[in-house]
Amino acid sequence: MSIINQMRLEFMGCPQNESFARVVISAFAVQLNPTIEEVSDIKTAVSEAVTNAIIHGYEGAQGTVVLSATINDQHILTVEVEDRGRGIADLEQAMQPFYTSHPELERSGMGFAVMQSFMDGLEVTSTVGEGTHIRMRKHFARDEK
């Protein structure tokens, strides 16, 4: 497999930029001729990843979120969201549905579950004090005529 296109964007980890990330990833993915449902899935998954970076990674402190994406010759979109925030102490627990480290914020604890259900693959790595890296994949079928 070879990469046929890629992008990388760094932005301030503030809530206003969550919608910016959604627009950017949908504009990048449009070259794969996605359905409206596929675009919605990608935007939702990216929204969850970026929101997690802002709320949990930086917890109100100033920080940078990195959004990158590649498209390969197999019509697979790979999206990565990274922060250099506090990291996740117990990744297994954090990935459980309904788990939230901030119940006072009325968060549902479904971020990772949403990412898993809307994308075809999810990998999360995190180191306490260094940050979190999320990699998601979505395969786009092509009509070969």
Tell whether 96 is covered by a domain.
yes
Query: What's the pLDDT at 96?
Result: 75
Number of domains in the chain: 1
Q: Annotated active-site positions, please?
A: 48, 52, 107
Give residue 145's pLDDT: 43
- Whether 67 is in a domain gets the answer yes
Nearest Cα to Cα of residue 25 among 83, 85, 78: 78
Task: List the CATH number of the domain containing 107.
Answer: 3.30.565.10
For residue 58, report the phi and psi dihedrals to the nearest 5 degrees.
-110, -20
Q: Is residue 37 part of a domain?
A: yes
State the pTM of this model: 0.89
pLDDT digits (tens, 9 = 90+) for 48-94: 999 999 988 898 788 999 999 999 999 999 999 999 999 998 888 77
CA distance 25 to 78: 11
- Contact call for residues 59 and 86 (beta carbons, < 8 A): yes
> Which pair of structure tokens corresponds to residue 20?
């910016």
**pLDDT above 80: residue 95:** no
Share of the chain above pLDDT 70, in %: 88
Is a pLDDT exceeding 90 seen at residue 104? no
> Residue 113 — very low, low, confident or very high, per pLDDT cuts 50/70/90?
confident
Whole-number average pLDDT of the chain = 90
Helix pair 111-118, 36-52: axis angle to 10 deg: 150
Domain-located, residue 145: no
Strands 121-127 and 131-139: antiparallel
Residue 127: which of 93, 97, 89, 79 has the closest Cα? 89
Evaluate whether residue 144 is within a structural domain. Answer: no
Mean pLDDT, range 115-123, rounded to an integer = 96
- Residue of 9, 142, 28, 11 whose CA lies nearest to 77: 28
List the domain range (segments joined by +) for residue 123: 3-139
